[in-house]
Structures are given as structure tokens and as C-alpha cells.
């Protein structure tokens, strides 16, 4: 590490309290000499709302990465996907998406119930090769309540995409993610099984965790790690014979 940078910089004093972003990033910008570059980015690109071009971008996205953390700061990231338009721009300060049926763990929603801060990243991998960050405060809203507030929301006809809950985000920051490291992807047709509980269609025990734990529980005399690593005396990797969809499904 450079001598210029303390491994534990003082985050109690924000050197640039008038700028967007955190105290930590401002301290490190000064330590690493990127303050001028960061200042130009803040001035040119960071908005406190969705400008019209951002609204159009969000409206055509078919997926978004969602970062949350609980009250202790323990983080989680996830993917939300749907048909183009599943991310609804309610106005220039609010975005919402429906929560489809998942594995029942409620990791993201549980975090939001403790800590409303969320970070969204939407990326156009196919055409413009550009991304959009949206940071803000989220709340959980029942479907009936959101529809009462926004009667223009379309009615979903696909059973697996009928949501009981929505996540609504009040935008605090919105800014571009540059294209220089975004790979170009070519979409292919795929039939998706929205809301299914079928283990094979969900991916089954793709990483072999459930099968390894069964082997341990059945008295194989080895640890889960040994089964997964294929060490001597352990069962073979349960994925070798049947890849996707093999084995038991994760618990709901």
C-alpha cells in the first residue's frame, strides 16, 4: 500500500461535506489524489433524481442487480429480472419493482425491513453498453396499496409474475456506469418458468451442496468440504453425472 494512504483513515471528519457520496470516499480521494477527477464526475453526472433519459433507460431494462444490508451492515447482493418494463418508473424520484415468488428466504426484503438503504445497478449488455446506478431508500409496499397510489400500473396475467409485494425506492443518487469494461452479450431466446417450485427448472442442487450434506448425514465419515473437493474416501462430485437440475432442491 502507498505511504500516502493510511489503512485506517479518519472517517469522522468529511473533508468535502458539500459533495455527494460518503465521508470514506472523500477521504480516500484526497489520499489518492483523485479529488479533482471525482469532483468533475459529481458535478457532471450525479443527479438526485432520474432525468428523462434515465427514466427511458430504466423502463426498458429486463434485469437489475440489487445491493442491501441489514441493520449491522452485513451485505447481500441479488438479481431481479422480468420482462422489459418490470421496473416501473413512478416519477422522477421513485422506482418500483414487483417481488416474484422465490426461495422463501427473503434475504433482500429482510434487509430492507431493517435498513432501507439500497443500491441498484442496471446494465445494458446488448446495445448501448452502458450502466445506471440508482441509490436510495426503499420501502415494502403491498400490491393493493401501490395500485391504489398508481392506478396506471398494468395488471400481470402470467401467474408466476403476480406480485403480493413491491419494493419502492426513493431516488437519492443516480449516475452513469461507464462502458469501458462492460462486455457485449448476445441475447438468446429462453422460456422462463416464472415462480416455479420445480427443482430441475430452478437449477436443482447445481453446486452439489445438498448432496454433499446428505452424504455426511448418512455417515460417510467425511466432511461436506471433502465431498465437494472429491478427496480420497469421499463420494464423487454429485454434479459429474447430472449437471443442472441434479440432486435435491434448496429449501424454501
Asked, for residue 190, whether it belongs to a domain, the answer is no
74 shares a domain with 94: yes
Q: What would the pLDDT profile of 169-187 be if each residue is shown by its tens digit? A: 999 999 999 999 999 999 8
Residue 89 has pLDDT above 80, yes or no: yes
160-163 CB contacts, 8 Å cutoff, 24+ apart: 160/100, 160/101, 160/193, 160/194, 160/195, 160/196, 161/82, 161/83, 161/86, 161/98, 161/100, 161/194, 161/195, 163/98, 163/99, 163/100
pLDDT of residue 1: 40
Domain enclosing residue 244, as ranges: 197-252
CA dihedral 222, 224, 229, 230 (to 10 degrees): 40
Q: What is the pLDDT of residues 10-21, one digit of tens each?
A: 556 999 999 999
Residue 170 lies in a domain: yes
The rounded distance, in Å, linking the Cα atoms of 10 and 7 is 10
pTM surpassing 0.95? no
- Is residue 182, in this structure, part of any structural domain at all? no
Give the total number of structural domains in the chain.
Answer: 3
In this structure, are 133 and 58 located in the same domain? yes
CATH code of residue 156: 2.30.110.10
Final residue of a domain: which of 11, 29, 45?
45
* Element containing residue 95 per DSSP (H, E): strand 94-99
141: left (phi over 0), alpha (psi -120 to 50) or beta: beta
**Domain identity same for 60 and 98:** yes
pLDDT at 222 over 80: no
Amino acid at each position: 500500500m502507498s505511504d500516502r494512504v493510511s489503512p485506517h483513515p479518519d472517517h469522522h471528519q468529511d473533508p468535502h461535506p458539500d459533495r455527494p457520496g460518503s465521508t470514506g470516499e472523500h477521504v480516500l480521494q484526497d489520499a489518492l489524489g483523485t479529488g479533482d477527477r471525482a469532483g468533475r464526475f459529481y458535478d457532471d453526472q450525479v443527479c438526485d433524481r432520474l432525468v428523462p433519459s434515465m427514466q427511458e433507460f430504466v423502463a426498458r431494462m429486463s434485469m437489475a442487480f440489487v445491493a442491501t444490508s441489514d441493520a449491522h451492515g452485513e451485505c447481500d447482493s441479488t438479481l431481479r429480472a422480468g420482462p422489459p418494463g418490470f421496473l416501473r418508473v413512478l416519477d422522477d424520484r421513485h422506482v418500483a419493482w414487483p417481488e416474484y415468488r422465490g426461495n422463501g428466504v427473503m434475504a433482500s426484503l429482510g434487509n430492507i425491513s431493517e435498513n432501507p438503504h439500497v443500491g441498484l445497478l442496471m446494465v445494458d449488455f446488448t446495445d448501448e453498453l452502458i450502466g445506471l446506478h440508482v441509490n436510495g431508500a426503499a420501502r415494502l409496499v403491498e400490491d393493493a396499496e401501490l395500485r391504489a397510489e398508481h392506478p396506471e400500473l398494468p395488471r400481470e396475467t402470467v401467474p408466476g409474475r403476480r406480485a403480493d409485494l413491491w419494493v419502492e425506492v426513493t431516488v437519492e443518487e443516480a449516475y452513469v456506469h461507464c462502458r469501458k469494461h462492460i462486455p457485449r452479450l448476445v441475447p438468446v431466446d429462453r422460456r422462463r418458468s416464472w415462480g416455479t417450485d420445480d427443482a430441475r427448472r430452478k437449477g436443482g442442487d447445481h453446486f452439489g451442496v445438498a448432496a454433499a450434506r446428505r452424504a455426511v448425514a448418512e455417515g460417510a465419515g467425511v466432511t461436506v468440504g471433502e465431498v465437494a473437493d472429491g478427496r480420497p474416501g469421499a463420494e464423487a462430485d454429485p454434479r459429474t453425472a447430472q449437471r443442472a437440475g441434479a440432486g435435491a432442491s434448496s429449501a424454501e
